[in-house]
């Protein structure tokens, strides 16, 4: 019998890609999504249950109907700027509603959950490579809300035996190589889709924020991880939990950093056209370098990124922005 996995936020960018990888691995992904920011068209590999994290009765019925074995939780608000303007929205959904959801899982007998967290829990880096034991001092409500739920999961594990793996990922990018799902955010805030849209004439010129950082070309360095590699990390984490593994936390990235200008130049080469951009001042709270130490996840989950080379990241993202069915 096919094992069913409940995917909260499975109609979103990373959630839908993870549903595809779950399906390819022989699981039935059951998407729970209220479609506030997700798309019904992205749910292709299993049923869609249109409900929110607080819909206790619906979630309990879904657990029973599909004999849910484990859950993956993506359903969060994730715009840093919005979180600073409306922190209550982020604490309500990313902490309060998420805790309700985890409590319903426990009530329904589901004891394994993977949580989609973020490198924003670390705040300003104190080391060039950020390991999982790096101090956690988030500098915005988004990162703080994710850290608060990580802490809630720890105590729920102590009280109820809920085993969780937290995945803190860095800069998600790219799109499905078959063009079936991809990144459709409104507004879009991520560098690679903004570069692709600017190059394709689908959006105004890109703004490069900050050119006076202590890096090779003065622009910020980030660690870009392909969404397929992120999805395979979630599946590896779920399988570890279902095999009896205990709670843990892992970074998900490549361990290598690229400057903004390096990404722009690579995009121009890959796409064969210029990327229009202007230079702007630094943004408050933007760290100079954000790069993951990924030695732990490679050793523990036998996971390694396979699609996160810059050419694949850019070409898959550009293909998605060209066809973009939703």
Q: Hey, which residues are catalytic here?
A: 142
Q: What is the DSSP annotation of 262-306?
A: HHHHHHHHHHTS---EEEEPPPTT--SEEEE--HHHHHHS----S
Which two structure tokens, joined as six digits, stand for 129?
């490579």
Is the peptide bond between 187 and the residue preceding it cis, with omega within 30 degrees of 0?
yes
Cα–Cα dist 275/265, whole Å: 8
Cα–Cα dist 156/102, whole Å: 8
**CB contact at 8 A, 213 and 2:** no
Q: Which 3 state secondary structure label does DSSP give 199?
A: helix
Q: What is the DSSP annotation of 40-57?
A: GGG--SS-EE---TT-HH
Q: What are phi and psi of 159, to 5 degrees?
A: -85, -35
Q: Whose CA is closest to 160, among 117, 112, 96?
A: 112
Q: Sign of the CA dihedral 195, 198, 202, 203?
A: positive
Radius of gyration of the chain (CA): 19
Q: What are phi and psi of 80, to 5 degrees?
A: -60, -50
Cα–Cα dist 243/249, whole Å: 17
Q: Sign of the CA dihedral 260, 261, 262, 268?
A: positive
**CB contact at 8 A, 196 and 313:** no
**CB contact at 8 A, 110 and 70:** yes
């Amino acid at each position: 019998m096919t094992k069913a996995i409940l995917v909260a936020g499975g109609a979103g960018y990373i959630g839908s890609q993870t549903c595809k990888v779950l399906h390819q691995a022989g699981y039935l992904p059951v998407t729970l999504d209220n479609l506030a920011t997700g798309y019904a068209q992205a749910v292709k590999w299993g049923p869609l249950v249109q409900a929110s994290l607080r819909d206790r009765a619906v979630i309990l019925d879904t657990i029973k109907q599909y004999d849910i074995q484990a859950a993956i939780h993506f359903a969060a608000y994730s715009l840093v700027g919005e979180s600073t303007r409306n922190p209550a929205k982020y604490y309500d959904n990313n902490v309060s509603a998420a805790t309700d959801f985890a409590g319903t899982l426990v009530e329904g007998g589901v004891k394994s959950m993977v949580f989609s967290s973020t490198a924003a829990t670390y705040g300003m880096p104190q080391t060039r490579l950020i390991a999982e034991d790096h101090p956690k001092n988030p500098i915005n409500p988004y990162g703080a809300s994710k850290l608060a739920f990580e802490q809630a999961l720890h105590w729920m594990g102590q009280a109820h035996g809920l085993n969780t793996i937290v995945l803190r990922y860095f800069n998600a990018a790219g799109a499905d190589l078959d063009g079936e799902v991809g990144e459709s955010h409104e507004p879009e805030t991520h560098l690679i889709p903004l570069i692709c849209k600017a190059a394709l004439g689908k959006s105004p010129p890109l703004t490069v924020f900050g050119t006076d950082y202590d890096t090779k070309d003065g622009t910020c360095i980030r660690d870009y991880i392909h969404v397929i590699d992120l999805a395979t990390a979630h599946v590896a984490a779920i399988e570890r939990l279902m095999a009896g593994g205990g709670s843990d936390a892992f970074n998900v990235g490549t361990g290598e950093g690229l400057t903004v200008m390096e990404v722009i130049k690579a995009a121009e080469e890959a796409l064969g056209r210029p990327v229009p951009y202007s230079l702007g001042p630094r943004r408050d709270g933007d760290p100079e370098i954000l790069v993951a130490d990924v030695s732990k996840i490679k050793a523990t989950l036998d996971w390694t990124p396979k699609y996160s080379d810059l050419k694949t990241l850019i070409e898959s993202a550009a293909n998605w922005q060209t066809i973009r069915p939703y």
